[in-house]
Amino acid sequence: MAETMLSVGIDLGTSTTQMVISKLTLSNMASAFTIPRIEITAKEILFRSEIIFTPLKAQNEIDIEKIQHFLDQQYRLSGVQRAEINIGAVIITGETARKENARSVLQGMSGYAGDFVVATAGPDLESIIAGKGAGAQEYSKQQHTSVVNFDIGGGTTNIALFHDEDLLDTACFDIGGRLIRIEQQTQKIIYIAPKLEQVIVQEQLSLRIGQVVSPADLKPLLKILVAVLENAVGLGEKNPYYELFITNKGLKLPANIVCVSFSGGVADCFYKELTDPFLYGDIGLLLGKELCQSKLFREKKVIVSKETIRATVVGAGSHTTKVSGSTITYTAAALPLKNLPVLKLSKSEETGTQEIICQAIKEKQQWFEVNQESQMIALGIEGYANPTYQQIAHLATAIVSGFSAAIARCDPLAIIVHLDNAKALGQAIFSRLPLDYPFVCLDGIQVENGDYIDIGMPLIQGSVLPVVVKTLVFE
Partner 1 sequence: MVDKQEMKAMIVSILEEMTDPSSTESATKVVEKPINKQEEATVKEATEEVLEDITQIDIRKQFLVPHPADREGYLKMKAKTPARLGLWRSGPRYKTQSMLRFRADHAAAQDAVFSYVSKDLIEEMDFIEVATKCKDKDEYVTRPDLGRQFDDENIATIQQQIKGTPQIQVIVGDGLSSAAIEANIKEILPSIKQGLKMFDLDYDEKAVLFIKHARVPAMDKIGELTKAEIVCYLIGERPGLVTAESMSAYLAYRPIVGMPEARRTVISNIHSGGTPAVEAGAYIAELVSKMLQHKKSGIDLKEVE
Partner 2 sequence: MILKAKLFGKVYSFQSVMDVMAKANEEKSGDRLAGIIATSSEERVAAKVVLAQLTLEDLYNHPAVPYEEDEVTRIIIDDINQRAYNKIKHWTVEELREWLLATTTTDYDIKQIARGLTSEMIAAVAKLMSNLDLIYGAKKLLVTKTANTTIGEVGRFSSRLQPNHPTDDIDGIMASVMEGLSYGSGDALIGLNPVDDSTESVKRILTKFEEFRNEWEIPTQTCVLAHVKTQMEAMRQGAPTGLVFQSIAGSEKGNTAFGFNATDIAEAKHLALQQGQVVGPNVMYFETGQGSELSSDAHYGVDQVTMEARCYGFAKRFDPFMVNTVVGFIGPEYLYDSKQVTRAGLEDHFMGKLSGISMGCDICYTNHMKADQNDAENLLTLLGTAGVNFVMGIPHGDDVMLNYQTTGYHETATIREILNKRPTREFEQWMEKMGFMHEGKLTSLAGDASVFLKK
Contact residues: partner 2, CB under 8 A = 2, 27-31, 37, 41, 143-144
Q: Is 9 in the site for partner 1 (CB under 8 A)?
A: no
Rounded Cα distance, 308 and 134, in Å: 6
Is the separation of the CB atoms in 353 and 166 below 8 Å? no
Rounded Cα distance, 113 and 89, in Å: 7
The CB-of-252 to partner 2 minimum distance in angstroms stands at 24
Q: Is 245 in the site for partner 1 (CB under 8 A)?
A: no
**In this chain, which stretch among 44-52, 73-81, 84-92, 381-389 interacts with partner 1, using CB under 8 A?**
381-389
Q: Is 388 in the site for partner 1 (CB under 8 A)?
A: yes
Q: Is 255 in the site for partner 1 (CB under 8 A)?
A: no
Residue 392's binding partner among partner 1, partner 2, none (Cβ under 5 to 8 angstroms by kind) is partner 1
The CB-of-29 to partner 2 minimum distance in angstroms stands at 6
Side chain identity, residue 440? V
Rounded Cα distance, 130 and 136, in Å: 9
Rounded Cα distance, 145 and 300, in Å: 12
Q: Is 185 in the site for partner 1 (CB under 8 A)?
A: no
Contacts of partner 1 in 156-175 (CB under 8 A) = 164
The CB-of-32 to partner 2 minimum distance in angstroms stands at 8
The residues with which 440 forms a beta bridge, in sequence order, are 330, 414
The CB-of-456 to partner 2 minimum distance in angstroms stands at 23
Binding test (CB under 8 A) with partner 1, winner from 256, 275, 348, 386: 386
Rounded Cα distance, 460 and 336, in Å: 16
Q: Is 75 in the site for partner 1 (CB under 8 A)?
A: no
Q: Is the peptide bond before 220 cis (omega within 30 degrees of 0)?
A: no
Could you tell me which of 328, 289, 332, 292 has the C-alpha nearest to residue 437? 332
Q: Output the CA–CA distances (angstroms, integers) from residue 454 to 21, 119, 377, in the order listed.
A: 18, 9, 11
The residues with which 212 forms a beta bridge, in sequence order, are 188
Return the number of other C-beta atoms located less than 10 Å from residue 422's C-beta.
28
Rounded Cα distance, 270 and 285, in Å: 7
Residue 27's binding partner among partner 2, partner 1, none (Cβ under 5 to 8 angstroms by kind) is partner 2
The CB-of-300 to partner 1 minimum distance in angstroms stands at 19
Residue 388's binding partner among partner 2, partner 1, none (Cβ under 5 to 8 angstroms by kind) is partner 1
Residue 187's binding partner among partner 1, partner 2, none (Cβ under 5 to 8 angstroms by kind) is none
The CB-of-132 to partner 2 minimum distance in angstroms stands at 18
The CB-of-255 to partner 2 minimum distance in angstroms stands at 17
Secondary structure class of 458 (helix, strand, coil) = coil
Q: Which residues bind partner 1 (CB under 8 A)?
A: 32-35, 144, 164, 327, 329, 384-389, 392-393, 420-424, 426-428, 430-431, 461
